[in-house]
Amino acid sequence: MDKPSGRSTQARGRARRAELLAAARGMLDHSSLDKISMSAVAEAAGIPLSSAYHFFGDILDLWKDLARTIATQQASEDLDLPWMASWQELIRASLVHHQSAFNSDAAARKLMLGPHTPPDIKNAACKEDYRFGTALWTAVRSQFSLPELADSRELFFKALLIADVFFSLSVSEHDRVTDDARGEAELALISYLSVYLPNQLAQVNPDRND
């Protein structure tokens, strides 16, 4: 019998890793982070515990990877935001999108905004805000001409850290991002960016209508 090739072994490994992440994500729909063990995730995924530990050193490593996976998915969707008449409207559209994404995904709320998230995962989630910031910065730059700043990407990262506070407080109190919390986040984020950005930015393609 032929031995599996290195490529097929890697593919199987990626598939098992994805199965563990999917199982953990599904378990967060009904349980809190502190109630889920690596053995429970492995059992839900139908994967031997020894194999699970091969992919993740401990449950915290799994949560960090899942947070990164969720952040990558959400951030990529910022690049598909519709064309807006002003950068402020684009910011609002992004926050509405993320509000909806978090409210429809218990795993995302618990991992990235939840009150019971361990500090290590909070730190990892904070780093993912840079991914969100970069995506929003890219979305704004695709529609508007940003002024020359030392590091405008860093500004969007810091702005989203501010918005994250309001989202997190809302999840802590209501287990969802309320419209009021999103409105406060919007006010704070736009106010911060307005210190560095003019009220009106020239559109990259002002004749675009879609």
Per-residue pLDDT tens over the stretch 59-76: 999 998 998 888 888 878
Q: Which residue has the higher pLDDT, 2 or 71?
A: 71
Q: The pTM is what?
A: 0.81
Same domain, 47 and 72: no
Per the domain annotation, does 210 fall within a domain?
no
* Least confident span in 53-57, 95-99, 115-119, 191-195: 115-119
Same domain, 84 and 51: no
* Mean pLDDT along residues 89-103: 94
- Tell me the HSE value of 76 on the side-chain side, using a 13 A CA sphere: 6
Same domain, 74 and 24: no
What residues make up the domain containing 73? 67-194
Across all residues in the chain, what is the average pLDDT?
Answer: 87
For helices 119-143 and 152-174, what crossing angle results, to 10°? Answer: 130
Sign of torsion over alpha carbons 178, 110, 76, 167: positive
Please tell me whether residue 2 adopts helix, strand or coil conformation: coil
Per the domain annotation, does 157 fall within a domain?
yes
Q: Dihedral, CA atoms, 142, 147, 150, 152, nearest 10 degrees? A: -40
What's the longest Cα–Cα distance across the chain? 69
- CA dist 120 and 154 (Å) reads 22
* Least confident span in 133-137, 138-142, 165-169: 133-137
144 strand-pairing partners: 203
Instruction: Give 21's pLDDT tier (boundaries 50, 70, 90).
Output: very high
Same domain, 41 and 123: no
Per the domain annotation, does 200 fall within a domain?
no
**Domains: count for the chain:** 2
Per the domain annotation, does 185 fall within a domain?
yes
- pLDDT of 3 > 90? The answer is no
- Tell me the HSE value of 38 on the side-chain side, using a 13 A CA sphere: 17
Per-residue burial over 103-122, b if 16 or more Cβ lie within 10 Å, else e, is bebbbbbbbbbbeebeeebb
Same domain, 75 and 33: no
Answer for the pair 67, 125: CB distance below 8 angstroms, yes or no. Answer: yes
CB atoms within 10 A of CB 1: 3
Q: Residue 206 has what pLDDT?
A: 54
* Mean pLDDT along residues 10-15: 84
